[in-house]
Amino acid sequence: MASYFGSFELSKRTILEKSKDVEGILNENERVVLNNFLKFLSTTNVLFLFSSIEASYPTKTFAKAWKREENISRGQIRMLYLTLKANNEYYSKYISPLKSFHPITFGNKSPYEKVFFAKGDLNTSLPFVHYNFRGLVLYPVSALHWADIYFKNGNTKEALRILDELRDVMVVKKKDGVEYALFLNYFHFENSSIPWVSGYAQGLGAGLYAKAYQITKNKTYLKTAKLLLNSFQIPYKDGGFVVEYPYGLWILEYGYNPNELVLNGHIIALQGLYYYWEITKDSYAKELFDNGTTSVAKALPDFEKDGWSLYSNIHGKAMRKYHELHIQLLEWLYEKTGNEIFKEYAERWKRSLNNVR
């Protein structure tokens, strides 16, 4: 017990050396972690132990990542605050759901039915995702996906609320005179380092903020969209997420692993770039889109097994929901490019659905 809370205290001190602004929320987190541990000791219910471990995860994870950084931005501080607040609110009232990729919201709206609506004082429209032993994480990919669905459903107000809140956790950097923005992920996924970047979020985000500008004429959204587009110029070795493969340009959904090419994440990032180009006519966005679609066309034969799509080049057959998503995305690519190979594979993968009960 002493070593368990000793490591927590060390993490807390590390964070406070970087920013005193989060001292109150860190103290609250410490109380939630301790209370769940004491409930475990008094009840022997192991779920309280899991809850204590998960509630402590953000403090320990952010501390480890921030220790390596000289300067912490306002966006990073806001990301930590929201993550801690969500975990504090949740684990003070509920125990671990023992479900990974389990969506949780503290708002009163969601574009989906299977979402857990948590009670608490956290006033946010951003969704959180629960992962076993990592607690509740703020995952920009999920938040942008919700915003995209809201736009498509005509619920512009909720889409803009998400984009406004998400902009506050964005990190703006500069390299070789180019200013760019990143959405950072502060949780371990597979063998990832912390933090890591998703090209899915960078591409879709560029398109959605451009769409927000188109609707509102607020130039702040356009500036944000441009900062996200600029991130595509950053080399992979310097924290970027675009790689060159034998197929051509590929946008990494999981930026920490240049060897995994995820089909849906790459195409959804291309969708965002296309949205951006439609609105701005920026030639760089169109160049990225064209190169990325050429890569998909070349890669498709390697993303099929027995008439069924693969999730990525290093994983097996995709789950049905991803297979269906791949079909929709290929149909969209055919609509935008006219390349018959996208239609051919979409139709073949549709037929394979009929063979699965």
Question: Is 197 within 8 Å of 140 (Cβ atoms)?
Answer: no
Q: In degrees, to the nearest 5, what angle opens at C-alpha 338 toward C-alphas 334 and 340?
A: 75
Nearest CA to 343 out of 296, 306, 311 is that of 296
Give mean pLDDT in consecutive 10-residue pieces for the chain, a chain of 357 residues: 79 96 97 97 97 97 95 97 98 96 94 92 96 97 98 97 98 95 95 94 98 98 98 95 97 96 98 98 98 98 95 94 97 98 97 77
Residue 1 has a pLDDT of 62
Contacts of 255 (CB under 8 A, 6+ apart): 196, 197, 198, 199, 239, 240, 241
Q: Are 28 and 88 in contact (CB under 8 A)?
A: yes
Give pLDDT, residue 87: 98
pLDDT attached to residue 349: 96
Check: pTM over 0.85? Answer yes or no: yes
Q: Which residues are 262's β-sheet partners? A: 312
pLDDT of residue 43: 97
Please report the pLDDT score of residue 190 as a whole number: 85
DSSP state of 165: H
The type of residue at 63 is A
**Overall size of the chain counted in residues:** 357
